[in-house]
Structure 1
C-alpha cells in the first residue's frame, strides 16, 4: 500500500510542477508580458484587460486567461481590482508554450 501512495504522490508532483514553477516566480514588471487568469463565472479576461487599460497581445486566448502587456506599475493592481485571480509572468508561459 505504501508503494501506491508513493506513486500517487510522485504523479501529482510531476503533473503540478509546471504550474508551481509559474506561481512561484517574480511578479512581472511594467512593460513586460503577463498572463491574467480570471474566474469562470465572472468577467472574462478580455473585459478585465479592457477595464484595466492594458493591451492583449495574443490573437487567441484561453477560456480563463489572456496574455497582456503591463503598461505601468499600477497595471497589476488594476487587474486585480477588476476581477483577475492571478497575474503571473507571461514570459515563462510563452517559453513553456513554444517548447
Structure 2
C-alpha cells in the first residue's frame, strides 16, 4: 500500500509543478506582462482587467485568465481589489504557451 501512496504523491507533484513554478516567482512590476487569474464564478478575468484599467495584450482569452500589460506599480493592487485570484508573471506563461 505504501508504494501506491508514493506513486500518487509523485504524480501529484509532477502535475502541479508548473503551477508551483509560476506562483513561486516574485510579484510582477510595472512595464511587465502579467497573467490575471479569476474565480470561475463572479467577474471573469477580462472584466477584472477592464475595471482595473489595464490593457489586455493577447489576442485570445482563457476561460479563467487573461494576459495584461501592467502600467504602474499599483496595477497589481487594483487587480486584486477588483477580484483577481492570482496575478503572476506573464513572461514565463508566454514562454510555456509559445505565444
Q: TM-score, normalised by structure 2?
A: 0.97
Structure 1 residues without counterparts, runs of 5 or longer? none
CA drift of 1:45 comes to: 1.1
CA drift of 1:44 comes to: 1.0
CA drift of 1:6 comes to: 0.6
* Runs of 4 or more consecutive aligned structure 1 residues displaced over 6 Å after TM superposition: none
Q: TM-score, normalised by structure 1?
A: 0.97
CA–CA distance in 2 between the matches of 1:49 and 1:95? 21
Provide the secondary structure at the position in 2 that maps to 1:84.
coil
Structure 2 residues without counterparts, runs of 5 or longer? none
How many residues get paired? Answer: 99
Name the structure 1 match of 2:64.
Answer: 64
Q: CA RMSD in A?
A: 1.1
CA–CA distance in 1 between the matches of 2:4 and 2:41? 37
Q: What are the residue-to-residue correspondences of 1:1-99 with 2, within 5 Å?
A: 1-98=1-98
Provide the secondary structure at the position in 1 that maps to 2:85.
strand
CA–CA distance in 2 between the matches of 1:82 and 1:45? 10
